Every structure is written in structure tokens, then in C-alpha cells.
């Protein structure tokens, strides 16, 4: 299918939603929300199984689905890993191996509609509920989140400041939901009426508007130390989001990298994570890690 044909289909869908919003705005908004919260990929591939399958632990009952958990046992503190959109727990393979070498116990789980977990949709409040279920079971000392997993970790700590979580590491986090949805709304060609309908839908269903849902706003209430890492050339979530999070998070350090893009796969990044987990006081200011070979 050509790119021009795909764009035509997307625009046609947006046109349909715009018409629907004039007569049934809540139904139109629900359709937009479903589009935005339905991942296209993220399931387990053949190249993931050798690493993930030996660590597969129990599936936890969650709403009307099951959540796949993974356990890499160790003799030290417990670390919970939260992956990003259209990904799965395999994205942490190299970091897990580094953490195991240091003796940490590592816990991960596949988000709803990702990996081996059930479900069709993923959005932060749902991810938060799944994360809290896993947290209550394993009581992690540290939490590491990437991308929407990082946003969920911040949201979760703001809502559930459990006293057993001592430190958090945030990788490539987005800030404002409004910014996250803006490009998709533009691609669909949503009218102002459709966009207003989506905002009203979010407010009614979750209690917040697009502008009100902000990682930086949630970070204001977090009291534990945090390490925030973001690449200045991130093409998925701009680095200014992490800068805003750092500004509001009173006990946080911000590391800006170059050349690693959104994935942040790098030995240097893993080294920083390990130093922070070992209790090292990293600079509470913006510093820079030069590009290194991704792992």
C-alpha cells in the first residue's frame, strides 16, 4: 500500500469522525480514543523468546484479562521495569543482564495489549492500574520506565507514593498528553469540534483534559530521588518534556544524551543507571553524555 493511499484512508477516516462529531460527539470521541489507544505491534517475536520465556512467571488476573510477569531472581534489591508503547519486556534485555551481574532481583511485565499479556488497548490510567497490581505483589525498591512506561511510572508514583519505592529512573518520558495527541489529530484532520469532543470524553471518563494530563505536573508531588535521561535529538518525545519534569521534581537529576534517539540504548546510559541504583549522587543539573555505540 502506497504512502499516498494510506494518507487518503486516514483523511477519509478523519472526515467521517468530523461528520459524526456534529451529531454524536461522544461516539465520535470514543472512536478517536480507541484509535489512539490501540497498538499496531508490541507482541512477542521469535527473536524475543530465548530471553523472555525462561523468565516467564505467573500471569496476574487483571480486569478481564491476564498480565504476563517475568522474574530474574537475585540476592539484592528488587527493580521493576516498565516498557514503552508497542514494545515489551524484551527491550530491557541488556540492562537486565547488567542488573543480574550486580545481584539485583528484576521484575518486568508486559503491558496490556503487549507482549504475552492480553488486551486490545493501552493508555496511561490502564497501565497505571496494571503497574500497581504488579507493585503490590513484588514491592520493588526501584522503578525504571521508558517512554509511555516512564510517564506511567511518574503518574503512578504521584497517585500511589508507596513507601517501599526508594528511587525512580525515567527514560525518554513524554510530558503533555495534548502534545502526544496533536500529531495524530493533525494526520486525521480532526476539526475543532472533534478535538473538543475528545477533550470532553477524557474529562468525563478519566477526570482530566488533554492539557491537564502532564508528567511535569505529576512530578511536583514526588518526594523520592529520580534520575531522568533523555536524548536531545529524540524524534518521538522531545527532550523539553523531561526538562519540564526535572524542573518540577525537587529531587531529580537530568542527563541529556546525544545520538541515541528515543531508545537510549547505550552502555553509557546503563552505567549511569547502575551508578544511580548504587546510591551515587549524580549532578542535580543538566549534563551531557556524548554519543556511544548502542547496545
pLDDT in tens, 68-123: 999 999 999 999 999 999 999 999 999 999 999 999 999 999 999 999 999 999 99
Q: For the whole prediction, is pTM greater than 0.85?
A: yes
Is residue 243 within 8 A of residue 170, CB to CB? The reply is: no
Is residue 33 within 8 A of residue 201, CB to CB? The reply is: yes
Q: Which three cell numbers stand for residue 123?
A: 493508555
Domain boundaries, the chain: 1-36+177-211, 47-175+214-289
Phi-psi region of 113 (alpha: psi -120 to 50; beta: other; left: phi over 0): left
Domain 47-175+214-289 fold is: Rossmann fold (3.40.50)
For cell 518526594, name the residue.
223
For cell 484479562, name the residue.
65
For cell 508497542, name the residue.
86
Which comes out higher in pLDDT, residue 3 or 118?
118
* Nearest alpha carbon to residue 78 among 111, 51, 100, 56: 100
pLDDT band at 284 (very low <50, low <70, confident <90, very high): low
pLDDT band at 282 (very low <50, low <70, confident <90, very high): confident
pLDDT band at 294 (very low <50, low <70, confident <90, very high): very low
pLDDT at position 103, please? 98
pLDDT in tens, 165-209: 999 999 999 999 999 999 889 989 999 999 999 999 999 999 999
Per DSSP, the chain holds a count of helices (H) and strands (E) of 11, 9
Amino acid at each position: 500500500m502506497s504512502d499516498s493511499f494510506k494518507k487518503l484512508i486516514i483523511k477519509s477516516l478523519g472526515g467521517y469522525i468530523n461528520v459524526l462529531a456534529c451529531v454524536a460527539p461522544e461516539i465520535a470521541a470514543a472512536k478517536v480514543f480507541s484509535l489512539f489507544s490501540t497498538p499496531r505491534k508490541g507482541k512477542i517475536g521469535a527473536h524475543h523468546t530465548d530471553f523472555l520465556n525462561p523468565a516467564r512467571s505467573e500471569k496476574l488476573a487483571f480486569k478481564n484479562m491476564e498480565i504476563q510477569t517475568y522474574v530474574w531472581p537475585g540476592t539484592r534489591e528488587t527493580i521493576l521495569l516498565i516498557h514503552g508503547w508497542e514494545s515489551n519486556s524484551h527491550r530491557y534485555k541488556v540492562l537486565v543482564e547488567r542488573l543480574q551481574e550486580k545481584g539485583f532481583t528484576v521484575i518486568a511485565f508486559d503491558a496490556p495489549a503487549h507482549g504475552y499479556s492480553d488486551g486490545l488497548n493501552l493508555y496511561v490510567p490502564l497501565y497505571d492500574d496494571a503497574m500497581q497490581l504488579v507493585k503490590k505483589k513484588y514491592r520493588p525498591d526501584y522503578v525504571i520506565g521508558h517512554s509511555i512506561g516512564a510517564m506511567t511510572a511518574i503518574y503512578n508514583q504521584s497517585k500511589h507514593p508507596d513507601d517501599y519505592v526508594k528511587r525512580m529512573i525515567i527514560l525518554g518520558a513524554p510530558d503533555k498528553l495534548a502534545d502526544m495527541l496533536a500529531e495524530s489529530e493533525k494526520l486525521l484532520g480532526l476539526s475543532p469540534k472533534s478535538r473538543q469532543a475528545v477533550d470532553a470524553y477524557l474529562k468525563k471518563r478519566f477526570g482530566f483534559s488533554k492539557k491537564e494530563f502532564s508528567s511535569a505536573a505529576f512530578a511536583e508531588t514526588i518526594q523520592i530521588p529520580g534520575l531522568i535521561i533523555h536524548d536531545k535529538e529524540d524524534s518521538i518525545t522531545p527532550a523539553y518534556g523531561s526538562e519540564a519534569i526535572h524542573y518540577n521534581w525537587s529531587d531529580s537529576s537530568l542527563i541529556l544524551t546525544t545520538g541515541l534517539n528515543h531508545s537510549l540504548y547505550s552502555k553509557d546510559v546503563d552505567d549511569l543507571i547502575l551508578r544511580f541504583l548504587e546510591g551515587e549522587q549524580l549532578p542535580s543539573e543538566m549534563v551531557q553524555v556524548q554519543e556511544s555505540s548502542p547496545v
